[in-house]
């Protein structure tokens, strides 16, 4: 148990006494400075990391976030995540630059660590534990900040969804603790404000009311059997009311209710019970990666479990039982463990998500692991007679985390190298090879791109049928065009499932189809392709300019001139439009 006073009673006089130096970090300003320094040292290296995976459909290709003033478009795109997408619109100015996005994400992570610091300080006061009253919260906040498993939610830009929701969530809990400690009702206003912001940032914030209840039960109420029974009764009533509300929303259609509470991609593929079995194993892998982060990667090929993993389940039950055994002398341990499971409850329980495992889902739950680790480390300091050794272990943990966080953040700067590593870690996952091919394509390494796309297509094969992702077909088609393999490109064009492409990708397909048809002098078909692109995106200037060229071939210079004027009105420096306009003027 963590006892009062800095000096331990059994501490030998000739042993190393770090306690006498602790007053240097007692000041809040010093603690905030330390958090800031760790943030800069570990995350500044990632400021120029490019966009990845869902960054493209969510930000780069998402017209809804390209205009901050069009709030209705952002709301219509995602009501449940409106706040997060509003911040993307705030950042968006030029999709070729990611620095502003990264600065925002890193700032969120920094402020989340501050919120964690205040939450831990409040919980220490509520638990009436004075030993390491300032050091334990600081160590917990530092571990939350520097844990390598946190990097994906910060450096993978679109996962601001996870980190921003976590910031609001943690801030709400911190204000709740201080509202209860100081008995000031006014402090409940920021509790509600941050909760509301969290609810409109990401759906996993739905567990926040239960987190506040957990704090109330552990730190402000007597945990008697009667109290637990009453609170469980109220929780059951709340859950029943929630289910009734969902039934009303679904019109009492159970199939519709099922769709509302799962990822649409999982329908017919992943049952709730198999997903639950899988997450029992996944939770232990998250815990493993928190402490041993040597194999972090973006896209895990995590196996679906179709039978109950008994050992994993018993281990979870054992951990929770152990937490309750120490509830009186170590309430922080009880909270840390229960919070960890609670924070995973939405994404790692019975609500199936197509991707079975993603690191960013552990961002908020890692708050519990950071607190638990700090308690265990400082308990080691107190219990052992070899203080110097114990403090060296703490220093080693901080160094270990810092090294892997810096290395991981630096790795995000080179997408080709990063995805080459991904193909070694998840060699049988189509999306990994397709992503590698996409980045080879960006670097104009067409042969390497085609090799990667070929592997992706084969991995997506279902017997004799190619059943790969729509974007894999599209990018293979583009690679063939860019490498001037026109016959193969024409064949691949017939395989692209245009109806399954995103709006942005449909525009790209029709534009490139028009270019291919123009090259083989099929002018009428090229004209139709450009018109298809413009029907979807009327302000696509390159398509307008190339459509003008098809009218020039048909000697319809008036129509061509009208299109080119429209392009130049939007962009006077448009190279292709100026060339064609000069050709018309020269006639």
CATH number at residue 458: 1.25.40.10
> What does the pLDDT read at residue 386?
80
> What does the pLDDT read at residue 1?
44
CA 412 vs. chain centroid, Å, equals 14
> What does the pLDDT read at residue 18?
62
CA nearest 108: which of 360, 299, 399?
Answer: 360
**In the predicted model, what is the mean pLDDT of the chain?**
89
Q: Per the domain annotation, does 13 fall within a domain? A: no
Q: Per the domain annotation, does 171 fall within a domain? A: yes
- Out of 411, 442, 460, a domain closes at 411
Across 334-355, average pLDDT: 95
Residues 428 and 407 in one domain: no
Q: In this predicted model, what pLDDT tens digit does every residue of 210-255 receive, in sequence order?
A: 999 999 989 987 656 666 676 677 667 767 776 676 666 656 665 6
Which residues lie closer than 8 Å to 145 by C-beta, 6 or more apart? 35, 38, 39, 42, 109, 110, 112, 113, 116
475 close to 56: Cβ distance less than 8 angstroms: no
> What does the pLDDT read at residue 94?
65
Q: Which residue has the higher pLDDT, 166 or 242?
A: 166
Which residues, listed in sequence order, are joined to residue 465 by a DSSP beta bridge? 462
Task: In whole angstroms, give the CA distance from residue 167 to residue 139.
Answer: 18
198 close to 169: Cβ distance less than 8 angstroms: yes
pLDDT band (50, 70, 90) for residue 267: confident
Residues 278 and 420 in one domain: no
> What does the pLDDT read at residue 466?
81
Residue 294 has pLDDT above 90, yes or no: no
Q: In this predicted model, what pLDDT tens digit does every residue of 367-393 receive, in sequence order?
A: 999 999 999 999 998 888 787 888 899
Q: In this predicted model, what pLDDT tens digit does every residue of 509-527 receive, in sequence order?
A: 999 999 999 999 999 999 9
Q: Per the domain annotation, does 559 fall within a domain? A: yes
Across 446-462, average pLDDT: 92
CA 426 vs. chain centroid, Å, equals 19
Question: Rounded to the nearest 5°, which phi and psi values hold at 222?
Answer: -75, 130
Residues 108 and 22 in one domain: yes
For residue 90, CA distances in Å to 7, 65, 84, 189, 321 come to: 50, 8, 10, 26, 46
Residues 441 and 487 in one domain: yes
Residue 433 has pLDDT above 50, yes or no: yes
198 close to 205: Cβ distance less than 8 angstroms: yes
Across 343-360, average pLDDT: 94
Identify the burial level of 226 via C-beta atoms within 10 angstroms of its C-beta, where 0-12 means exposed, 13-18 middle and 19 or more buried. Answer: exposed
> What does the pLDDT read at residue 3?
43
What string of DSSP letters covers 79-133?
STTHHHHHHHHHH-S-TT--HHHHHHHHHHHHHHHHHHHHHHHHHHHHTT--TTT
Q: How many domains does the chain have?
A: 2
Residues 540 and 451 in one domain: yes
> What does the pLDDT read at residue 255?
65
Own/partner pairs, 57-60, CB within 8 angstroms, 24+ separation: 57/502, 57/504, 58/85, 58/88, 58/158, 59/88, 59/92, 59/95, 59/101, 59/157, 59/158, 60/95
Q: Per the domain annotation, does 343 fall within a domain? A: yes
Structural tokens at position 305: 């479990």
Q: Per the domain annotation, does 90 fall within a domain? A: no
Task: In whole angstroms, give the CA distance from residue 365 to residue 360.
Answer: 10
pLDDT band (50, 70, 90) for residue 7: very low
Q: What is the greatest pairwise CA distance in the chain?
A: 99
Task: In whole angstroms, give the CA distance from residue 459 to residue 473.
Answer: 13
Residue 536 has pLDDT above 60, yes or no: yes
> What does the pLDDT read at residue 249?
60
Residue 578 has pLDDT above 70, yes or no: yes
Q: Per the domain annotation, does 555 fall within a domain? A: yes
CA nearest 197: which of 225, 175, 220?
Answer: 175
Residues 29 and 176 in one domain: yes
Residues 556 and 532 in one domain: yes
Q: Which residue has the higher pLDDT, 262 or 6?
A: 262
User: Which of 406-415, 460-469, 503-512 is predicted with the least confidence, judged by mean pLDDT?
Assistant: 460-469
In a 3-state reduction of DSSP, which class is residue 297? coil
Across 10-17, average pLDDT: 48
> What does the pLDDT read at residue 4?
40
Give the domain extent around 301.
18-50+98-223+262-411
Residues 316 and 451 in one domain: no
Q: Per the domain annotation, does 59 fall within a domain? A: no
> What does the pLDDT read at residue 233?
73
- Out of 376, 411, 446, a domain closes at 411
Position of tokens 């060229």? Answer: 549
352 close to 263: Cβ distance less than 8 angstroms: yes
> What does the pLDDT read at residue 11?
44
Residues 347 and 425 in one domain: no
Residues 425 and 365 in one domain: no
Secondary structure element (H or E) that encloses residue 462, with its range: strand 461-462
Residues 405 and 420 in one domain: no
Task: In whole angstroms, give the CA distance from residue 390 to residue 401.
Answer: 17
Q: Per the domain annotation, does 360 fall within a domain? A: yes
Half-sphere exposure of 498 (CA within 13 A, CB side): 15
Residues 345 and 453 in one domain: no
- Out of 395, 411, 427, a domain closes at 411
Across 133-162, average pLDDT: 96
Across 500-514, average pLDDT: 94
Position of tokens 């194993």? Answer: 281
Structural tokens at position 422: 């991904």
Q: In this predicted model, what pLDDT tens digit does every residue of 43-73 receive, in sequence order?
A: 999 999 999 999 999 999 898 999 888 999 9
Residue 256 has pLDDT above 80, yes or no: no
CA nearest 166: which of 422, 364, 324?
Answer: 364
> What does the pLDDT read at residue 337?
97
């Amino acid at each position: 148990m963590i006892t009062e006073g800095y000096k331990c009673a059994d501490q030998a006089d000739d042993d190393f006494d770090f306690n006498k130096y602790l007053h240097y970090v007692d000041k809040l300003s010093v603690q905030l400075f330390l958090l800031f320094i760790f943030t800069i040292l570990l995350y500044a290296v990632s400021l120029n990391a490019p966009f990845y995976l869902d960054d493209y459909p969510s930000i780069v290709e998402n017209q809804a976030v390209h205009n901050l003033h069009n709030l209705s478009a952002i709301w219509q795109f995602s009501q449940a995540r409106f706040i997060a997408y509003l911040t993307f619109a705030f950042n968006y100015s030029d999709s070729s630059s990611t620095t502003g996005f990264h600065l925002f994400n890193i700032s969120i992570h920094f402020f989340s660590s501050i919120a964690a610091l205040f939450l831990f300080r409040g919980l220490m006061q509520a638990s009436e534990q004075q030993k390491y009253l300032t050091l334990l919260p600081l160590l917990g906040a530092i571990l939350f900040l520097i844990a390598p498993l946190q990097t994906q939610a910060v450096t993978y830009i679109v996962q601001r969804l996870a980190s921003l929701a976590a910031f609001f969530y943690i801030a709400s809990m911190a204000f709740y603790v201080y509202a209860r400690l100081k008995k000031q009702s006014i402090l409940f206003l920021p509790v509600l404000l941050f909760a509301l912001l969290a609810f409109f940032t990401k759906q996993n914030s739905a567990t926040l009311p239960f987190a506040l209840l957990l704090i109330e039960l552990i730190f402000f109420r007597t945990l008697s059997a009667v109290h637990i029974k009453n609170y469980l009764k109220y929780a059951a009533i709340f859950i029943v009311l929630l289910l009734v509300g969902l039934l009303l929303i679904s019109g009492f259609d159970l199939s519709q209710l099922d769709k509302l509470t799962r990822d649409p991609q999982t329908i017919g593929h992943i049952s709730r019970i198999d997903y639950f079995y899988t997450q029992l194993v996944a939770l232990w892998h998250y815990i493993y990666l928190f402490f041993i982060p040597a194999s972090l990667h973006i896209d895990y090929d995590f196996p679906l479990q179709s039978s109950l993993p008994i050992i994993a389940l018993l281990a979870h039950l054992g951990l929770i039982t152990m937490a309750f055994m120490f509830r009186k002398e170590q309430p922080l341990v009880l909270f840390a463990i229960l919070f960890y499971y609670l924070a995973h409850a939405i994404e790692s329980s019975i609500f199936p998500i197509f991707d079975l495992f993603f690191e960013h889902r552990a961002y908020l739950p890692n708050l519990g692991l950071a607190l638990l680790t700090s308690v265990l480390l400082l308990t080691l300091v107190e219990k052992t007679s070899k203080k110097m050794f114990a403090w060296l272990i703490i220093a080693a943990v901080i160094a270990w985390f810092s090294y892997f966080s810096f290395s991981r953040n630096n790795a995000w700067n080179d997408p080709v190298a990063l995805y080459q590593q991904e193909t070694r870690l998840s060699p049988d996952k189509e999306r990994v090879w397709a992503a590698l091919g996409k980045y080879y394509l960006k670097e104009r390494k067409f042969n390497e791109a085609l090799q990667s796309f070929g592997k992706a297509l084969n991995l997506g094969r279902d017997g004799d049928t190619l059943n790969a992702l729509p974007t894999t077909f599209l990018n293979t088609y583009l690679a063939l065009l860019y490498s001037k393999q026109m016959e193969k490109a024409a064949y691949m064009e017939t395989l692209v499932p245009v109806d399954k492409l995103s709006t942005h990708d449909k525009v790209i397909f029709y534009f490139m189809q028009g270019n291919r048809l123009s090259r083989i002098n099929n002018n009428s078909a090229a004209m139709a392709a450009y018109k298809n692109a413009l029907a979807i995106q009327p302000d696509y200037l390159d398509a307008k300019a190339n459509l003008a060229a098809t009218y020039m071939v048909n000697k319809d210079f008036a129509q061509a001139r009208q299109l080119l004027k429209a392009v130049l009105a939007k962009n006077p420096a448009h190279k292709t439009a100026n060339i064609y306009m000069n050709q018309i003027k020269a006639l």
